[in-house]
Amino acid sequence: PAPLVLTGLGGDTSLEARQPTAYPELERETLLEAETYGRISAALEDRMPWRTDLVGFRSRLARRGLIPNPFEKVVFGRGDWLYVAESFDPHCPEPERSAVIQRLAAVAGLLKDHGIDFRVTLIPNKASIHEDGIPAWIRDEHAIARSATADLRDRMTRQPGWFIDLEPALRSRLRRDPDRPLYHPTDTHWTWAGGEIFVAGLVGALVPDLYDPVEVVQVAEVPVTFDLDRLSGSSAER
């Protein structure tokens, strides 16, 4: 791509959620080293014209199983669902889980002594709620990762009053209305329906019977390129 880049044409890596590779500092001692040429090549490739279109084309091929997945941060699931490749769940092993609960309990007690209502919830990741879309090859790894968070959640549920357990409400809503996702298929975040469950749970824990879903009105939709679309090289707006 060097001639095209040097004539002023250029692409970008913004839809890949990263900065372009920096050009290396050219020094006499390292000018002829293979590593220097490799870094120059990577920098030119990141600025190659039509890069976004080419990366998006590669993403579409991978999502249809025509080439291996080249995007290490994203797992391609069933029915065009995308998931984060690495779960955060296993990063809170013992004794960290016990320390988390002890510290939160101490904060809750301190705030209660000062008349302040304190609430904590654990936000389930998408794979733990929309499990049907997870490909078979990663299911065992997913189950192992989830065990640490399930343990933390169960122990918090036994705490007196300050923990809000959202998972039962999310699962119940999905059973009642399986065609209305609670997380965006190509994003890590809640849809309107999933976010509403959080708001209802929080308000209900603080002021029972205050929340009325009829009074909540969605006034607009905004087109965006979702985070897992971006990480998989797609520029699709949804």
By mean pLDDT, which of 57-61, 155-159, 223-227 is the weakest? Answer: 57-61
Which H or E run includes 76? strand 74-76
Site of tokens 């849809």: 191
Q: How far apart are CA 106 and CA 96, in angstroms?
A: 15
pLDDT tens-digit series, residues 178-203: 999 999 999 999 999 999 999 999 99
The burial class, CB within 10 Å (0-12 / 13-18 / 19+), for 61 is: middle
Q: Amino acid identity, residue 5? A: V
Provide the greatest CA pair distance for the chain. 73
Alpha helices in 91-221 (DSSP H): 96-113, 126-129, 139-157, 167-176, 192-206
Q: How far is it, in rounded angstroms, from Cα 229 to Cα 186? A: 6
What three-state secondary structure class fits 113? Answer: helix
Give per-residue pLDDT as tens, 102-142: 999 999 999 999 999 899 998 888 998 999 999 888 888 78
CA distance 21 to 40: 9
> 23-32, 143-152, 177-186: which has the highest mean pLDDT?
177-186
The pTM of this model reads 0.78
| Residue 121 φ then ψ, to 5° | -135, 155
